[in-house]
Amino acid sequence: MPLQKRILGKTNISVADVGLGLWAVSGSEWGTAEDRETFAAIDKALDMGVNFFDTADVYGNGHSEELLGQAMKGRREKFIVSTKIGWIGYDGNQSQYTTVDKFIAGVESNLKRLQTDYVDIIFSHIPYAEPNLHVFLEGFEKLQKQGKIKGYGASTSDFDFLKKFNSNGLCSVLQIDYSLLNRTPEAEILPYCQKENIGVLIRGPLVMGLLTGKLNKDSHFEASDFRRNWQNKPEEKKIFLDDLEKVEQLRPLAKGKTLAQLSLQFTLAHPAVSVIIPGAKRPQQVEENVSAGLLAPLTGAELKNMEKITPQNGGRRIWPA
């Protein structure tokens, strides 16, 4: 059975419902990674029917985009690509993109690293209200008319910001953190996206590896892995330990599948969701993740059992990406 295809919001782009997130490349904040493994992971994803690949200008300081660009050589038509812009040069108050010309030049840099003349989707990577929002919106509109982007959206978990971003009704896609450990989008954001025909791209469906069930309180994280903070900072450690408890309660529910697959099936079950983008460093991880989309959908009884452990109003920290 092939991966299910879903329409990505207003774009009318048909995407396989499981994609590949490319944050965890060499030079990023995820510890050691090898370029050859990234290429192998991309090839494995393509072989399994994946056609959606997500990156950003900030991932590995552009290296993620460069790797994806190299992987697409000679076969660009097999890839539906989303990237992001805005985080680089953002000081917490406003971005470096203070004019439309500067913004368009920034997107041209994305395209150069990706070695392509267009991207399918591009996101504003600034997750909160931004005084230069009009610059982003005008820039996106110009680029869309030029054929350099097919659709645009925001990467945010802030509902008020999403509504501002969609004030012109032209937002095509939302990228948002949503998982068994973070169900807060179900209350307002996901219903809003359904109403407004905004495609929903899910990042963090495995919560940085927590929902693979392969981590514990003594897991070793390299010095270059930002997850070391989970063990070294008191507030982070408390959340980490609380999450691990929930993971252990969820583990018995993963009958005949891995906990990661169960968790990915949960995100796919919501009717607002278009595509999920679990990250992977190696092809073996891609195979496990993509296989979740090939399994029979979760039953109502299975979803109710999950609800007992991670209720919608449970809340948790929301991760940036």
Beta strands at 14-16 and 275-276: parallel, antiparallel or unpaired: unpaired
The DSSP annotation for 108-121 comes to HHHHHHHTSS-EEE
59 is catalytic: yes
In whole angstroms, give the CA distance from residue 144 to residue 152. 8
In whole angstroms, give the CA distance from residue 316 to residue 112. 37
Q: Please check whether residue 121 is in contact with residue 81, taking contact to mean a CB–CB distance below 8 angstroms.
A: yes
The DSSP annotation for 77-142 comes to GG-EEEEEESSTT--SS--S--SHHHHHHHHHHHHHHHTSS-EEEEEE---S--TTHHHHHHHHHH
SS3 content of the chain, % helix, strand, coil (to 5): 45, 15, 40
In whole angstroms, give the CA distance from residue 199 to residue 190. 10
The token duo for 106 is 């920034």
Q: Please check whether residue 62 is in contact with residue 69, taking contact to mean a CB–CB distance below 8 angstroms.
A: no
CB atoms within 10 A of CB 298: 17
- Output Rg (C-alpha) for the chain, integer angstroms: 19
The residue assigned the tokens 């994280």 is 221
Q: Please check whether residue 6 is in contact with residue 52, taking contact to mean a CB–CB distance below 8 angstroms.
A: no
The residues annotated as belonging to the active site are 59
